Amino acid sequence: MKFKRTERIGAIVKILSDNPNRTYTLGYFTDKFNAAKSTISEDLLVVKSVFEKLQLGKVITISGAAGGVKYIPKTSVEENNQVLMELCDKIRDESRLLSGGFLYLIDLIYDPTIAAKVGKIFASNIDYEDANYVVTMETKGIPMAVMTAKAMNLPLVIIRKDTKVSEGPTLSTTYLSGNMQVETMSLPRRALKPNSKVIIIDDFMRGGGTIKGMMELMTEFGAEVIGTGVFISKVTKEKKLVDNYISLVQLDVIGDKIIAEPNVKTFRDEYNNDEIAAYSLAAENMINEIE
């Protein structure tokens, strides 16, 4: 069957977008579309140009016998800005405020569209070139970790609070949770290969106790944590228990006032316009309010 050029290009975009960071040989497309390599090469140039112009990510070609083409998700500065500002607007909704200063965020965390956008932002700002796994803690961190793993094309490993007989022997450690209670986390011994490198993704960080526990558990497995991403981090006077992490939104609740702003430190090297400077000033004012 012969395909028109528009049909081939549409199909190539669909295949690459659905399978980020996976290399496809020219032979794969020539067989699929019954077309010559020169024809497919021209199609790929069009796809690459469109992705770059619309800032939808990068389509790169790899030379050599084992080469081909692959799509790398990359969010633009403008897209990051828009996504995070829209999220902060939703978080600041006063109807989310619960007793004890807690916020209802489940609907945002479990929204697949939001989780997919957050996953792409993490994949665009965390160096995962040498990573073997994405690791998260059950349960609220799972949606964003799944989408991050998809964007990075890495397998997902989920740390549990309780052991499961069906998973075989496990390795456990204790950690200090956000509510200052000592809890246990466990992971099957078969979950990670020796000398693995991992990316940790979590939904919320208050003092960093949970993520610190995850890091210590990775050490027990002989794994190296090479990147950490947090959706929301709470602004506190105390120093976090972990360093070198990316946080997308910084949050605080003062009385009945919800303060949520994009964490400009995450993208400080990229943002240089007046609008982002205003966000930076708002974030600094937020921190000054609680000090």
Query: If residue 60 lies in a helix (H) or strand (E), which one and from where to where?
Result: strand 58-62
Exposure of 118 by Cβ count < 10 A (0-12 exposed, 13-18 middle, 19+ buried)?
buried
Exposure of 18 by Cβ count < 10 A (0-12 exposed, 13-18 middle, 19+ buried)?
exposed
Query: Is 165 found in the same domain as 26?
Result: no
Residue 286 has pLDDT above 60, yes or no: no
Could you tell me the two tokens for 54? 């619309």
**CA nearest 234: which of 158, 176, 175, 179?**
179
Query: Is 155 found in the same domain as 49?
Result: no
Structurally, the chain folds into a number of domains equal to 2
Query: Is 84 found in the same domain as 225?
Result: yes
Query: Is 124 found in the same domain as 53?
Result: no
**CA nearest 121: which of 155, 74, 85?**
74
Per-residue model confidence (pLDDT) at position 79: 85
Query: Is 170 found in the same domain as 36?
Result: no
Per-residue model confidence (pLDDT) at position 77: 80
Residue 212 has pLDDT above 60, yes or no: yes
Query: Are 264 and 280 spatial neighbours (Cβ–Cβ below 8 Å)?
Result: yes
Among 72, 90, 108, identify where a domain stops.
72
What value does the mean pLDDT take over residues 160-167?
A: 84
Measured in degrees and rounded to the nearest 5, phi and psi for residue 284 equal -65, -40
Residue 278 has pLDDT above 50, yes or no: no
Per-residue model confidence (pLDDT) at position 275: 45
Query: Is 85 found in the same domain as 25?
Result: no
How many alpha carbons lie under 13 Å from residue 167 in its C-beta half-sphere? Answer: 16
Among 38, 57, 72, identify where a domain stops.
72
Structure confidence by residue, pLDDT tens digits, 29-48: 999 999 999 999 999 999 99
Instruction: Give the domain range for residue 16.
Output: 5-72
pTM for this structure? 0.85
Query: Is 182 found in the same domain as 59?
Result: no
What value does the mean pLDDT take over residues 207-217?
A: 94
Query: Is 267 found in the same domain as 180?
Result: yes
Query: Is 275 found in the same domain as 238?
Result: yes
Measured in degrees and rounded to the nearest 5, phi and psi for residue 288 equal -65, -30
Model confidence at 238, in pLDDT bands (50, 70, 90)? confident
284 Cβ contact list (under 8 Å, min separation 6): none
Query: Is 103 found in the same domain as 247?
Result: yes
Per-residue model confidence (pLDDT) at position 129: 92
Which CATH number does the domain housing residue 239 bear? Answer: 3.40.50.2020
Which CATH number does the domain housing residue 24 bear? Answer: 1.10.10.10
CA distance 2 to 36: 11
CA distance 80 to 86: 10
- Straight-line distance from the first to the last Cα atom of the chain, in angstroms, rounded to the nearest whole number: 68
Query: Is 98 found in the same domain as 46?
Result: no
